Structure 1
Amino acid sequence: MVTKHEPSAELAVGLAVSEANVPPMVDSSAAEPQQPMSRSYIFWLMLASFGVSMAMMVPLAYGIAVRISELAPGHEEVLGYITGTAQAVYLIISPMIGIWSDRTRSRFGRRTPFIYLGIVIGLLGLIVISLAPNLLVVGAGWVLGMSGWSIAGAPLQLLMADKLPESQRGKVSALTGLMTQIAPVLGIGVAYAVSSNTTLVFLVPGVIGAVMLGIFPLIKPEGSSKDLPRTGHVTVRSVVTSYGFNVRKYPDFAWNWLGRFVFFVGLYFNTTFGTFFYAQRLDLPVREVAGIVATVGMIGVLAAAAGALIGGFLSDKLQRRRLFVMIAAVLFVGGAVAEATAWNLPQIIFGAVLMQLAIAVFATVDQAIVFAIIPERDQVGRYMAVVQFAQKIPSALAPLIAGVVITIGAVGDVKNYTLLYLTGAVFALVGGLIILLKVKSIR
């Protein structure tokens, strides 16, 4: 599934490299899409989004924590190192995937081959993690798993950017985003049902997700890309320059990138250690937390559904995007504060519901903003990879930093999650303000 899942530009953070050496394409993808997606296409796109989200998020939210508790009890900070390293690896390869996707010429299309490549790599990674004898192998397995499911999910966003007209961007982003919210919750429930077998904890959600994702191109073929104009070979220079863009020429894209980046730093601060957080605050063994995570998640699904649908449909109807991004940031702050001070299940649920609502609104509406401000539509894959930096950099750095933050002022095994969640709230608020105040071409 797609995670609609970013921002910011760090205006200068290396992103302001030139776009020069990427030859332009003149196919239909260069034009602003006008033909609405059919209901049938949207339905299967939603199922595909659900599948990739389940396959990726269940290990991230539950499975890897279980493996750490088995192999190195009491060292939950390792979770940050493992997830951060995997994100860093994908961060390096993602622009290459975008470039190759844009330039792929096959009878199956530009995007479809990468869906199946990602599925194979992702499933291999899950098998490695489930059988790993030590944490080093767990980390290597998640590098494969994270890379594979990210490669498999990226084409779904690219197809949306290729095909969605402005009038549908909020709605379809809402519906696919809703799937990404529901999938991890149901997936963790599935994992909990087979929690007595570590291998099944990884493989059952992974196989279900792979099937739901893999069937999408079979039922809704992308169509051949063999007749599209050739754009030259991928060179080292073109890859390097693809990691950035001209900030001064595309200020809205840059500011949105920056705001998205900062928001996602806050998000990953407050979500990476969820399993360990629940275990500490509710005084439960880590393996038994899956039931709590699934219960909290199922309740949060209603909030996520409301956030995605209201944010997406209302932002389309009112033609206002930035306001909803700021509302999402404020809601996230409220949820983070509630979680930071929670030592009982009702307050944890309240905070989680607010954060689920906020994440759904932000992800849905900001994705619609991204689709509207892509600088060059003939290079959608490349620019969507740059957008992914705004999520992938935080997902790599935030867990590493968070692993240090929770040790500040820690007493024995009681980690400082209060400081972590409050810090995340500040980042989320700043990210929302950047988009609200600096992105000018979108209302």
Structure 2
Amino acid sequence: MTRSLPEETASTTVDVLPAGGPAAAGPATGSRLARLYVTLPMANVALYLLWLGVGSFLLPIQVAEITGHNDTTALSTASTIGAVLATVGNPVFGQLSDRTRSRFGRRAPWILLCAALGALALVAQAQAASIAMLGLSWGVVQFIMNGYQAALTAALPDRVPAPKLGTFSALVGLGVPLGTIVAALVIGGIPGTKFGLDGVIGGFDGAFAGEKGYYLIAAAVFVAAVLFVVISPDQDSRDLPREPFSLRRFLANFWVSPKDHPDFGWAFLSRLGVMLGYFIILTYNLYLLADHIKIAPADLLPTAGFLMIVNALCTVVASVLIGPIADRVGKVKPFVFVSGVAAALALAIPILSPTEGGMLAYNIVGGMAFGVYLAVDMALITKVLPRGADAGKDMGVINIANAGPQILAPTISGWIVAAGGYEALFPVAAVVSLVGAVGVLRVRGVR
């Protein structure tokens, strides 16, 4: 089966208060906390610029250049290799950062190292000349950059005080929509006619829809990592207790028993459902526009960019509004549930109206639903993590619920399209999202 372009990427976040065992050096206060309001979202935006810029634009464009046509099988192969390695990378690097003892803290060394190696891997990926090499290089990038993500998101439980979890959850969640906006503007461009203007806004005549796009993203990731580490330095971790290394214990530590930690298990399944429903559509987004909505080939990238930006702006607005509200009311579970239900309802719009206008309405409603979810999801996860001392590892495990859907979605979406056409993607994604929303109701230890 062959056709068009985009897709995927990694994964999101969490927070935690120690539930046994030492955390880092306690929550940040004063100016150290104030700087985090800027540096943490900035570093996360750079990460999602990578995930969305490469996964939704550069990777499918490169597949088309290598194969000579829009080959969905090749795209799925390259994407799946990367997502599998991403699933492994997050908990591995998370546990390594938990065990790190240095004057620069537990997380900073891994943030810098992974950003530098990830940037080099992106440069190498730009040169890939076969699907096998493309899949392998993208896998290496995702494996390394999930180390960056695991260490970065662990800064939340390390440094953010409990009363600010909702606000910081919303700020970190902005990485997804803001990364989307930057990627869509720089690589895809936006039709000027949408705003009463001529030509295309951004896009730069395709200058970054290839090698230069990889170089730009590599630079953005590395610069953001350096700024985060320098402006918001980690605290010295040399005095934290050290456990003797045991490979058997290291491997066994990746398992979090759902029997002993049922809230963690239900939160994992809830996130898995919501994210899988999201990626079932995102995986074939350009294919939907090209084959189902019948967007002309010349208008495909600008139209996709415009819809992505609309979705992202709605996500930003909802996330910024809901995060502080959740802090005030002291509840997060109702917001997660409502966002999942709203996302499912949004998926009904393209079923009733399979047009560009229907996709626009879907992206508005779906973007707002996703913004509500991003605003509180991390705060929910934070409250169910088993141990503060293992925050990096446990967040890596929970982030499998982000990478897992990226592995499953290309195959599941292909089956759905083969069996019922592109229009069948929407009801299936809606049911999956609803299952994820209902799962959060089983979390007992969080309001």
Quick check: TM above 0.5?
yes
**Other structure's SS at 1:243 match:** coil
Deviations 1:51-91 (A, max 9, x none): 11112220111111111222231422432332222111222
CA displacement at 1:427 relative to structure 2: 0.5
1:186 corresponds to 2:182: yes
CA displacement at 1:319 relative to structure 2: 1.5
Q: Which runs of 5+ in 2 are unaligned?
A: 1-8, 189-202
Residues 125/399 of structure 1: CA separation in 2 closer, same or farther (3 Å cut):
farther
Aligned residues: 417
The residue aligned with 2:435 is 430
Residues 87/327 of structure 1: CA separation in 2 closer, same or farther (3 Å cut):
same
The residue aligned with 2:80 is 84
Q: What code does the residue aligned with 2:65 have?
A: E
1:62 corresponds to 2:74: no
Q: What code does the residue aligned with 1:190 have?
A: V
1:240 corresponds to 2:244: no
Q: What code does the residue aligned with 2:304 have?
A: V
Which segment drifts farther, 291-300 or 43-52? 291-300
Native 8 Å contact 2:21 2:388 kept in 1: no
The residue aligned with 1:280 is 291
Partners of 2:286 and 2:213 in 1: how far apart? 15
TM-score under structure 1 length normalisation: 0.87
Native 8 Å contact 2:94 2:147 kept in 1: no
**Other structure's SS at 2:342 match:** helix
CA displacement at 1:332 relative to structure 2: 0.8
Residues 259/30 of structure 1: CA separation in 2 closer, same or farther (3 Å cut):
farther
The residue aligned with 1:51 is 46
Q: Which runs of 5+ in 1 are unaligned?
A: 7-23, 410-415
Q: What code does the residue aligned with 2:181 have?
A: V
Partners of 2:353 and 2:215 in 1: how far apart? 33
Q: What code does the residue aligned with 1:323 have?
A: P
Deviations 1:378-398 (A, max 9, x none): 111121111112222222122
Deviations 1:193-214 (A, max 9, x none): 2524620122223322331233
1:4 corresponds to 2:12: yes
1:389 corresponds to 2:389: no
Deviations 1:321-368 (A, max 9, x none): 111111111111122222345542221111112222222211221210
1:404 corresponds to 2:415: yes
CA displacement at 1:122 relative to structure 2: 2.2
CA displacement at 1:34 relative to structure 2: 8.0
Deviations 1:131-188 (A, max 9, x none): 2212111111210222222221222210001112221111111012123211122123
> Matched residues, percent identical?
22
Which segment drifts farther, 140-149 or 193-202? 193-202
Residues 217/34 of structure 1: CA separation in 2 closer, same or farther (3 Å cut):
closer
Partners of 1:212 and 1:169 in 2: how far apart? 22
Residues 276/262 of structure 1: CA separation in 2 closer, same or farther (3 Å cut):
same
1:27-426 aligned within 5 A:
27-29=22-24, 33=27, 35=29, 38-72=33-67, 73-192=69-188, 193-194=203-204, 195-196=206-207, 198-233=210-245, 235-284=246-295, 289-340=300-351, 342-409=353-420, 416-426=421-431
**Other structure's SS at 1:227 match:** coil
Partners of 2:366 and 2:112 in 1: how far apart? 33
Partners of 1:440 and 1:244 in 2: how far apart? 21
CA displacement at 1:26 relative to structure 2: 5.1
Residues 205/42 of structure 1: CA separation in 2 closer, same or farther (3 Å cut):
same
Q: What code does the residue aligned with 1:382 have?
A: K
Q: What code does the residue aligned with 1:189 have?
A: L
Deviations 1:293-313 (A, max 9, x none): 221122223311222123212
Partners of 2:131 and 2:11 in 1: how far apart? 27
Partners of 1:187 and 1:122 in 2: how far apart? 18
Residues 134/382 of structure 1: CA separation in 2 closer, same or farther (3 Å cut):
same
Residues 125/425 of structure 1: CA separation in 2 closer, same or farther (3 Å cut):
farther
TM-score under structure 2 length normalisation: 0.86
Native 8 Å contact 2:89 2:146 kept in 1: no
Q: What code does the residue aligned with 1:4 have?
A: T
CA displacement at 1:49 relative to structure 2: 1.2
Native 8 Å contact 1:338 1:347 kept in 2: yes
Deviations 1:376-432 (A, max 9, x none): 1111112111111222222212222223322224xxxxxx22112221111111110
The residue aligned with 2:446 is 442
